[in-house]
Amino acid sequence: MKVPHVESLVYRAESAKDIIYNDPVPLEIDKDKWKGCLENGILTCRMKMHYASVSDVRREIESYLRAWEVNTNLKQGKGSIKFVYQDANLIDLAPQETGCRVVEAGGVISGIGTMTARGQIIRKNYPPPPENFTVSPDVETLLGRYEGYLAGKEPLPAMAYFCLTTVERIYGGQREKREKPRKAAARIIKVDLEVLNTLGELASERGDQTTARKFLRQPSPLTGTERTWVESVIRGLIYRVGEYSGCSDKSTLAQITMADFPSLE
């Protein structure tokens, strides 16, 4: 009778066509249940404990890889890294009389999304995985709207206002007496209220007939500087929601201020 054991999983690290990792140093990962090595574009994850099911191992590892992808793409730009499952190596812990080691390979899952064109970017090191960042359902919600905006599915003001009000909804329920949801969100996730207020003003009071979130008597499209600022703040908010979810000691989170984003002047 076979006793299957998942020995390792293999993933291919991909990036947008214009991002090149130039002979990077291998990156080692050591977790409680597995350890990995990213080298020559291949991530090999070796189990430290017994798993009989490939699907169980994939759930364990791929939530970590998803956080790695999102964290990197928010910080370094979309398409910086994506992990694509390749195969699984299984052994039989109760081999037949021949004593042969049985190895099975899983199927290959291919594909990486289309990325925005830009000049070629050469990087010398693989992006490090995050320490305290998780891709919670709230992060996925915010990220989905942001990526929809990048794909041209909705205007910037509408996307930005949705993300702002979602953050207020998530954390506003924890507010103190007579405290407004936005102020509560700013206090709880440690973002200066000035950042959220400025975002709210730009998302609500800027735009034209095709981009404004609401009717404006005097249309005022976002300037290039304002667009850059709003995009940067949205990425920062998504990242902070992931940090807040993944950090066990919230007091260690640094305060996010206007100085953390491009100047509006």
Residues 81 and 173 reside in one and the same domain? no
Q: Is residue 129 a part of any domain in this protein? A: no
- Which pLDDT score is estimated for 211? 75
Final residue belonging to a domain, choices 72, 96, 123 = 123
Q: Is residue 217 a part of any domain in this protein? A: yes
pLDDT tens per residue, range 115-138: 334 468 899 999 999 989 999 999
Closest to 185 (Cα-Cα) out of 195, 200, 197, 175: 175
Residues 117 and 8 reside in one and the same domain? yes
Closest to 17 (Cα-Cα) out of 82, 103, 94: 82
Residues 161 and 78 reside in one and the same domain? no
Gap between the Cα atoms of 261 and 159, Å rounded: 18
Gap between the Cα atoms of 136 and 244, Å rounded: 10
Closest to 123 (Cα-Cα) out of 12, 15, 24, 16: 24
Residues 199 and 177 reside in one and the same domain? yes
- Which pLDDT score is estimated for 109? 31
Comparing 2 with 171, the larger pLDDT belongs to 171
Q: Is residue 51 a part of any domain in this protein? A: yes
Residues 176 and 233 reside in one and the same domain? yes
Q: Is residue 213 a part of any domain in this protein? A: yes
SS3 22: coil
Comparing 128 with 214, the larger pLDDT belongs to 128
The residue behind tokens 């908010």 is 237
Residues 69 and 152 reside in one and the same domain? no
Q: Is residue 131 a part of any domain in this protein? A: no
Gap between the Cα atoms of 81 and 73, Å rounded: 7
pLDDT at 217 over 90: no
Residues 73 and 96 reside in one and the same domain? yes
Q: Is residue 178 a part of any domain in this protein? A: yes
- Which pLDDT score is estimated for 107? 38
pLDDT at 258 over 70: yes
pLDDT at 103 over 50: no
Residues 145 and 241 reside in one and the same domain? yes
Residues 153 and 226 reside in one and the same domain? yes
pLDDT more than 90, % of the chain: 71
Residues 61 and 153 reside in one and the same domain? no
- Which pLDDT score is estimated for 172? 83
**What pTM was estimated for this model as a whole?**
0.83
The per-residue pLDDT of the chain, averaged, comes to: 87
Residues 162 and 105 reside in one and the same domain? no
Q: Is residue 130 a part of any domain in this protein? A: no
- Which pLDDT score is estimated for 164? 97
Final residue belonging to a domain, choices 123, 154, 169 = 123
- Which pLDDT score is estimated for 178? 78
pLDDT at 113 over 50: no
> What type of residue sits at position 258?
M
pLDDT tens per residue, range 134-193: 999 999 999 999 999 999 999 999 999 999 999 999 998 766 677 899 999 999 999 999
Strand order in the sheet with 27-30: 27-30, 34-39, 42-47, 4-14, 82-92
Comparing 84 with 173, the larger pLDDT belongs to 84
Residues 12 and 116 reside in one and the same domain? yes
Q: Is residue 195 a part of any domain in this protein? A: yes
Its domain, for residue 162, covers 137-260
pLDDT at 101 over 60: no
Residue 255: CB atoms within 10 Å? 10
Confidence of residue 262 (pLDDT cuts 50, 70, 90): very high
Q: Where are the beta strands (DSSP E) in the chain?
A: 4-14, 19-21, 27-30, 34-39, 42-47, 82-92, 121-123
Final residue belonging to a domain, choices 123, 158, 179 = 123
The count of domains in the chain is 2
